[in-house]
Chain A
Amino acid sequence: MTVSPESGAPDVLVIGAGPAGVEAALAASAAGLRVVLVDEAAAAGGQVYRAAPRSFTGMTATPESRLGDDLRRRLAESAVETHFGHLVWSVSLGFRVDALAEGGPVSWSARRLVVASGAQERVVPFPGWTLPGVIGLAGATILLKSQHMLPGRRTLVAGQGPLLLAVAIGILKAGGEVAGVVDLASRGEWLATGAALLSRPDLAARGAGWVAQLHRRGVPLLYRQAIRRATARGDDIEVTVGPVERTGGPARGRERNFTVDAVAAGNGLTASTDVTRLLRAEHVFNEARGGWMPQVDAEFRTSVDGLFAVGDGAGIAGAAAAALHGRLVGLAIARELGALAPADHATQSASLRRSARRAGQFGAAMAGLMALRPGQVAGIAPEAVVCRCEDVTRREIDAACAEGVRSANQLKAWTRCGMGPCQGRICGDIASALVARHAGTEPRAGMFTGRTPFRPLPVAQLIKPVDYAELELPPPAPL
């Protein structure tokens, strides 16, 4: 049964304008629902299809950029009400969404909320990873794609997963030098994804072409290796690389040094769970899909009524799957709210599901390569900073665990790990993995409790000064 919303309130609010969010918004809007789409970026595309600033021209088109441009065009042609440059900082049940824009705070109410907040990067700490010039692999991707800029003149690329090659090639194409590609995986592990690669022969061929290109350019490709430490050397960074076991921990063997001015290092993507954790949705753990993710049913409903989570924010599955799943969510909501007849919904979603399954296969294979391995956590050097905001080292975390810490939240209370401005978004997964080793609850010891704001809130933007007499105050405390 369709119930008319109070005038002004959207039927659906979508947080995140990457492929999942945009497709969900478009599908719901096409069925006649009023949809609001919010994103902190200046344009749609999320991270995977991140647009260059509007003032840039002369970029070479790539398959990704074409998909991104198409996404943005379809969105612009639709009835979806978009709010870019809006940073969502809080969500309440029911739902109320609070955001900050240039002009100040804004809020909306909606009956259905779709969280398509995407993924964030995980980097396994090593001594020196906090040096300026050391950036994430996904961070390097963003810098290359959206700013068309190199991380440095000569960059070492390290970590695990498909971003390695993408970043290395991106650097070469942008006119930079790649000192080497250091991959935790072995060549065999890449080949083992073969069956899944067949589901996306275009991407498989591209990957093979990249490897060939790197060989031609004389870029060393080091498999079963990882960064051991990075040390400042004047304006440069000296990076020490060594062999690792299959489980990811350091192995005996020759170390090798690289002198570079930038390092792009990343160890997989994890779902951004700010909203779903805040709303106390049930989460499940799946290492192969990035770790903690909201529990969702076949139509991406979370355990919280009216709350959907889709795209990489519901578990790493890649951009193609995100788009298809997003459409499924839009259709499901349209059916729920009476804007789409059940028979039409069944027809449209059936073919989507088939395509999504295929797309998911490739995404899953890539996600598997990005999965954290137990040896990587065990191998974190004692002196390595784990919590960058608060400078909490592995050694301090181990000491707290020796005194009795058994969960990530307890670790936070005892050491301040996760209490800084990033609120544990960078260190949380690793911190939880470290605690789990002591608590015997591997692979993780819970998640940091979700709280607002999702990003630090400048007081000056949140509130405008007001005359004291105009403040609405509750009754004073009793004497």
Chain B
Amino acid sequence: MSSSAPSFDVAVIGAGAMGATAALHLARGGQRVALIDRGEICRQASGVNAGTLTLHMTRAALIPYAIRGRELWMDAVNWLGMDVGARAAPGLSLAFTEAEREMLEKRAAARTAMGAPIRLITPTEALAIEPGLNPSMIAAAFCELDGHVTAYLTGRAYRKALVAAGAGVFENTPVTGIAPEAGRYVIRHQDGGRTVARRLVLAGGVWLETMLGWLGIAVPIKCLVNQLIVTERMAPVMRSVVSIANGLLSLKQFENGTVLIGGGWQGLGDPVRGGVEAIPANLMGNVQLARHALPALGESRIVRIWLGLESESPDAMPIIGQLPGLDEAYVIGCVHSGYTSAPYMGQLLAERMLGNEPEMPLFDPARLIGKLEDTH
């Protein structure tokens, strides 16, 4: 690994779904790729998120990407080589108050304008789709392009595909710094080893701030600590993906009968310590909402509560593209509903790096980076 010629064409630092997708397409495009992660592949946000493929809660500007990402997840058997549990399901967003109804209408309008097939429906229509819902809802929105993926299967699928594509997968390999040299990047490992690559992709999620710092670039990355809750298996109680207009609930039941409750309620944690602990009041609130939306959950038992770290850029839009002021260094991350879009976003970046024009615009990192000071 420490020869004078770069051993790799591309080093991707961070093996979440974004980095793994980019690495996969680059490897299949003929690049010699090293995918490096301090832990195991797809075990952070990509492996612990709720797997919701909803368009209801996706930022309006990202709808076209999410639609494409969803299609890719549904088709994972073909391009990724393994079924990761992607299942189409109708998506219902509910309103229980007038304020929520207003939010519902605004969200639906903004997303419909970007191509999401979302329409407002009556509570009666919603109950016909999902009989177990709380009939006290006053309005609902329906999207036929919804569904879910089993996030924890992601790592196994990507690892297999990456190895088959000839990529080097280096798990449990913490990186401590990157030294740009002429025509290459020397990536320093914690154990004293090095990886040398001509080109670099930073795909570190909430750790992007640290990684960009290795290159002298300062972009503050916000870290959300999202709480997730799963029940033990239950008899079928729902068939759709359910959310509430206030954005504080996501609810779905997997084929194995477990129900996953999300909604972005916060726990305690940070990029250094990871997700540390759930906040009991937030746990209660999340479960209250879930039970209110689907009363049958009153019969369930909660089996596990965990936390996942989600990254957000200063303007809440993705950071995807080439880094200014450096030679062949790229970044990908900070995408809301990033898991949904990851198969597409990673592919777009790889396309760009392989010399093709990506079919959708990327998200220029330069907008967030101040002019680099001259140092004399």
Residues in chain A within 8 A of chain B (CB atoms): 90, 92-93, 96, 98, 107, 278, 280, 400, 403-404, 406-407, 409-410, 412-414, 419-421, 423, 449, 451-453, 456-460, 462-463, 465-466, 468-469, 471-474, 476-479
Contacts and interface: CB of A to CB of B under 8 A. Distances in A.
A477 B285 contact: no
B194 interface: no
Interface of B: 40, 42-43, 47, 57, 60, 96-97, 103, 106-107, 110, 136, 152-153, 155-156, 159-160, 163, 169, 171-172, 231-232, 245-248, 264-266, 273, 276-278, 280-282, 284-285, 287-289, 291-292, 297-306, 316
A453 B305 contact: yes
Contact of A466 (B155, B288, B300): B288
Contacts of A453: 302-305
Given A451-B304, A463-B287, A479-B60, A473 B278 contact: no
A452 B306 CA distance: 8
Q: Which 10 A-B pairs have the closest CB atoms?
A: A477-B247, A476-B246, A456-B301, A413-B152, A457-B302, A414-B156, A421-B232, A410-B40, A460-B298, A458-B301
Given A466-B288, A473-B285, A478-B316, A92 B280 contact: yes
A468 B285 CA distance: 11
B106 A471 contact: no
A286 B342 CA distance: 42
B291 to A, nearest CB: 6
Contacts of B247: 476-477
B43 A413 contact: yes
Contacts of A421: 232, 301, 303
B155 A413 contact: yes
A472 B155 contact: no
Contacts of A420: 232, 303
A161 B103 CA distance: 64
A404 B167 CA distance: 14
A473 B265 CA distance: 9
A479 B287 contact: no
Nearest to A421: B232
B285 A413 contact: no
28 contacts: A90-B280, A92-B280, A280-B273, A404-B163, A409-B43, A413-B47, A413-B153, A413-B155, A421-B303, A452-B277, A452-B304, A452-B305, A453-B304, A453-B305, A457-B301, A458-B300, A459-B299, A459-B302, A460-B299, A462-B287, A471-B288, A473-B285, A474-B248, A476-B246, A477-B57, A477-B248, A479-B106, A479-B110
Given A406-B40, A413-B156, A462-B284, 4 more contacts: A423-B304, A460-B298, A468-B136, A476-B246
A107 B302 CA distance: 18
B159 A403 contact: yes
A403 B247 CA distance: 38
Contacts of B96: 468
A462 B364 CA distance: 46
A479 B156 contact: no
Nearest to A93: B277
B291 A459 contact: yes
Contact of A96 (B43, B47, B160, B280): B280
Nearest to B305: A452
A403 B160 contact: yes
A90 B276 CA distance: 13
Contacts of A451: 304-306
B280 A472 contact: no
Contacts of B302: 453, 456-457, 459, 462
Given A463-B288, A471-B285, A410 B246 contact: no
A465 B298 CA distance: 9
B40 A407 contact: yes
Choose among B97, B291, B303 the residue with the greatest number of A CB atoms under 10 Å from its CB: B303
A456 B303 contact: yes
A407 B171 CA distance: 11
A460 B304 CA distance: 16
B152 to A, nearest CB: 4
A476 B96 CA distance: 13
Contact of A98 (B47, B110, B231, B280): B280
Nearest to A94: B277
Given A413-B156, A458-B301, A473-B246, A406 B287 contact: no
Contacts of B287: 459, 462-463
Contacts of A92: 277, 280
A462 B110 CA distance: 37
Contacts of B57: 477
Contacts of B97: 468-469
A473 B40 CA distance: 35
B156 A400 contact: yes
A107 B287 CA distance: 18
Nearest to A461: B301
A49 B172 CA distance: 44
Contacts of A472: 281, 285
A107 B280 contact: yes
A479 B299 CA distance: 33
A468 B292 contact: yes
Contacts of A412: 152
Contacts of B163: 404
A414 B298 CA distance: 30
B341 to A, nearest CB: 17
Given A459-B299, A474-B248, A477-B248, A406 B277 contact: no
Contact of B43 (A280, A410, A459): A410
Nearest to A462: B287
A128 B207 CA distance: 47
Contacts of B265: 474
Nearest to B282: A474
Nearest to A473: B248
A83 B236 CA distance: 37
B263 to A, nearest CB: 9
A420 B231 CA distance: 9
A280 B97 CA distance: 41
Nearest to B137: A468
Nearest to A415: B156
B52 to A, nearest CB: 13
B187 to A, nearest CB: 21
B288 A410 contact: no
Contacts of A409: 40, 43
A41 B108 CA distance: 52
Contact of B291 (A413, A423, A465): A465
Given A407-B40, A451-B305, A468-B292, A476 B232 contact: no
Given A463-B284, A468-B136, A479-B103, A403 B156 contact: yes
B231 to A, nearest CB: 8
